[in-house]
């Protein structure tokens, strides 16, 4: 499973973000305009899609797509 492509698909399909805006360094809030409610939905989507648990304190650290990819990759291997 390609984590980056899957995250991109979630952002495009679930939150209606243009695929061209989804870059590795894009900040979910500053660059993609995701509000806290969307962010909570995004984290839940990550948990379901990748079958992992993301504690709130970890979720707060995931600010860019790259950070999310690295975190999810580590959790799935862990």
What does the angle CA 30 – CA 37 – CA 35 come to, to the nearest 5 degrees? 15
Return the CATH class of domain 3-77: mainly alpha
CA nearest to 14, candidates 47, 37, 38: 38
As a whole number of angstroms, the distance between CA 50 and CA 10 comes to: 12
Catalytic site includes residue 73? no
Pull the structure tokens for residue 27.
């900040």
pTM: 0.92
Candidate list 13, 25, 31, 35, residue with the active-site label: 35
Helix (H) / strand (E) element for 10: namely: helix 3-15
Along the 78 residues of the chain, how does pLDDT read in single tens digits? Answer: 899 999 999 999 999 999 999 999 999 999 999 999 999 999 999 999 999 999 999 999 999 999 999 999 999 998
Q: Could you state, in order of their start, the residue ranges of all structural domains in the chain?
A: 3-77
């Amino acid at each position: 499973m390609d984590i980056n492509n899957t995250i991109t698909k979630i952002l495009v399909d679930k939150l209606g973000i243009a695929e061209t805006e989804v870059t590795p360094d894009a900040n979910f809030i500053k660059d993609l305009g995701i509000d806290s409610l969307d962010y909570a939905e995004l984290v839940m989507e990550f948990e379901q899609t990748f079958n992992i648990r993301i504690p709130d304190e970890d979720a707060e650290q995931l600010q860019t797509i790259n950070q999310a990819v690295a975190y999810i990759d580590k959790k799935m291997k862990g």
